[in-house]
Amino acid sequence: MNKTEEKSLKEQIIDAARKVLLAKGYRNFSLRKIAGEIDVSATSIYLHFENKDDLVHTLMEEAIARLNKQLEQKVAEVDDPISKLEALAREYVSFALKHPREYQVIYLISSDEMTRYPKEKFRKARKGYEIVTDVLKEGVESGLIAESRPRLAAYTFWAQLHGVMSVVLSKRLDNRIEQEEFIEEAIDHIIKGYQLRTSL
Amino acid sequence: MNKTEEKSLKEQIIDAARKVLLAKGYRNFSLRKIAGEIDVSATSIYLHFENKDDLVHTLMEEAIARLNKQLEQKVAEVDDPISKLEALAREYVSFALKHPREYQVIYLISSDEMTRYPKEKFRKARKGYEIVTDVLKEGVESGLIAESRPRLAAYTFWAQLHGVMSVVLSKRLDNRIEQEEFIEEAIDHIIKGYQLRTSL
DNA sequence: TCTTTTAGTTAACGGTGTTAACCTCTGTTA
DNA sequence: TAACAGAGGTTAACACCGTTAACTAAAAGA
């Protein structure tokens, strides 16, 4: 690895931070541990990030980008809008199950628990909503979905999915309920909420 | 206030803890602050609680009980199952908006961020699901709701609502979307997901 | 060559959860 | 009545935390 290929300290910090987060969870995610991971002093993190929240925001941004990328791929594989909606939901779920800690970084942090997620980054995060919005619009055009405000609906769709995965990941499901069944049922209900109601 | 009316230290700690949590948020919720509030040493908290998580769990239990009580009241005020479902959703939303910090205590804490919420307490917490389950069963009997597994459906209903309020409270809504409108739309979609589909 | 800038360091501050050792009452028992 | 035991607190300390200030060494520019 020659000089130009070497990762900048900023990149190294991000890598180390991701590693610590995935390995130990947010609760044990500390600047000193991150710094120790790359044999550097904890204070040097401040040369590249405003503070701890700023670093976390960077990880959030990354995780969101990854999720969005996967959603984009999946949605391109199907044709009709209802199937697309289902594909989106399933990919969303699958991401949360495969990368629970990363998923939780995206969401766990709420209003007063952390500095507001900065506006510039938030814009990128909206990509996911755009994908859903487009699918909903498509569905309206082809007469399968009744929805006068697709962007608004995209947010409700997303929120519902998040709620479902949040319950699963925080392990709040009743023992008597099987996780997979729960997810299936939820996806089914969520999609039904957007389908046009006609006689069967 | 005579001796027998005096609150036990345990109760005083819980009161102080609730006060600190509501005033400063979970991030600034520390044992030393709680102790300072009632002029007692921080370590004496350990005489009444196993650790910080245990104390938080107690606050969670309390908040859940309050929410459940309000839901029970509201659901008794309406008659038909669909209206009951709507009343439940609205009361849930209203609680989250009125007591955001308490609401967040109920949910914010996820699997690896905190010791698992203990089983005995979890049982009490299920009351809310029972209420929803009963309403759904009622709806099935009167032919308004198509649902073969009401308990499972109660969990999906709850999860979706949580997702919606989680997005609202973490202030992740697009500027262009009005909060109230978002909530209305979401409740509408969620309930539609449980209604029997017949020709209009 | 002198000077400024950059990129890092160490030391320290005030805070955290938690544990160990101690103290001081109160009630019981010999 | 004296000795004891336990309950219910205390103080001191440990190991960690995010963050700031002051310093240093090397590189870059003049």
B177 shares a domain with B117: yes
Assess if residue A45 is contained within a domain: yes
Indicate if A110 and A25 belong to the same structural domain. Answer: no
**Residue B110 pLDDT class (50, 70, 90 cuts):** low
Q: How far is B8 from chain A (nearest CA, A)?
A: 31
| pLDDT, mean of residues A164-190 | 94
Same structural domain for residues B72 and B151? yes
Same domain for A70 and A103: yes
Using a 7 A cutoff on CB, list residues near strand D: A 28-33, 42-43, 46, 51-53; B 9, 40-44, 47-48
Specify whether B43 is located in the same domain as B58.
no
pLDDT score, position B197:
78
Cβ within 8 Å, pair B172-A113: no
Residue B66 and residue B165 in one domain: yes
Q: Say if the Cβ atoms of A112 and B26 lie within 8 Å.
A: yes
Taking Cα atoms as reference points, which of A127, A128, A105, A129 lies closest to residue A117?
A105
A54 falls within a domain = no
* Statement to judge: residues B36 and B62 lie in one domain: no
| CB–CB contact A199 B198 (8 Å) | yes
Position A6 confidence tier, pLDDT thresholds 50, 70, 90: low
Question: What share of chain A has pLDDT > 70, as a percent?
Answer: 93
Residue A113 is assigned to a structural domain of this protein: yes
Q: Chain B within 8 Å of A118 (Cβ-Cβ)?
A: no
- The mean pLDDT of chain A is 92
Q: What pLDDT is recorded for position A16?
A: 98
Whether residue A16 sits in one domain with residue A67 = no
> Looking at the structure, do residues A168 and A74 belong to the same domain, yes or no?
yes
Distance in Å, alpha carbon of B13 to nearest chain A alpha carbon: 22
CA/C1' separation B49–D4 (Å): 28
A147, B138 in Cβ contact below 8 A? Answer: no
CA dist., res. B106 & res. B68, Å (int): 12
B136 in a domain, yes or no? yes
> Are A145 and A196 spatial neighbours (Cβ–Cβ below 8 Å)?
yes
Q: Among residues A25, A31, A85, A83, which one has the least CA distance to residue A55?
A: A31
| Residue A33 within any structural domain of the chain | yes
pLDDT of residue A110: 64
CATH number at residue A149: 1.10.357.10
- Among chain B residues, the shortest Cα distance to A121 is held by B172
Q: Assess whether B74 and B162 both reside in one domain.
A: yes
In the stretch 55-94 of chain A, residues with CB closer than 8 A to chain B read: none
Residues B160 and A160: beta-carbon distance below 8 Å: yes
Residue A40, domain member (yes or no): yes
Q: Are residues A174 and A128 in the same domain?
A: yes
Set of chain A residues whose Cβ sits within 8 Å of the Cβ of B191? 193
Indicate the pLDDT class of residue B6, thresholds 50, 70 and 90.
Answer: low
* CATH code of the domain containing B13: 1.10.10.60
Euclidean distance between CA atoms A59 and A33, whole angstroms: 16
For residues A165 and A140, membership in a common domain is answered with: yes
Number of domains in chain A: 2
Output DSSP code: residue A48: T
Query: Which residue segment(s) compose the domain that A34 sits in?
Result: 1-49
Its sign, for the CA torsion B4, B9, B13, B19, is positive
pLDDT of res. B2: 35
Amino acid identity of residue A4, one-letter, is T
Summarised one tens digit per residue, pLDDT across range A12-42 is 999 999 999 999 999 999 999 999 999 999 9
Per-residue tokens: B189: 């979609």
For the segment B71-109, what is each residue's pLDDT rounded down to a tens digit? 999 999 999 999 999 999 999 999 999 999 999 989 866
pLDDT digits (tens, 9 = 90+) for B112-142: 677 888 888 888 889 999 999 999 999 999 9
What does the pLDDT read at residue A121?
85
Residue keyed to tokens 């609401």: B103
Q: Using CB atoms, pick whichever of A25, A152, A157 lies closest to residue B112.
A: A25
Assess if residue A198 is contained within a domain. no
What does residue A144 show for φ and ψ, rounded to 5 degrees? -100, -20
Closest among B79, B169, B156 to B87, alpha carbons compared = B79
Q: Which residues of B fall within a CB distance of 8 Å from A182?
A: 152, 155-156
Q: Which nucleotide is nearest to B45 (CA to C1')?
A: D9
Q: Is the pLDDT of residue A4 over 80?
A: no
pLDDT tens-digit map of B24-43 = 999 999 999 999 999 999 99
- Tens digits of residue pLDDT in A138-162: 999 999 999 999 999 999 999 999 9
In a domain, A34, yes or no: yes
Which residue of B lies nearest to A112 if distances are taken between CA atoms?
Answer: B25
Residue B145 in 3-state DSSP? strand
Residue A123's pLDDT band, with cuts at 50, 70 and 90, is confident
SS percent in chain B: helix, strand, coil, step 5:
75, 0, 25
Residue of B nearest to A160 (CA): B160
Q: How confident is the model at residue A124 (pLDDT cuts 50, 70, 90)?
A: confident
Whether residue A148 contacts residue A94, with contact meaning beta carbons closer than 8 Å, is answered with: no
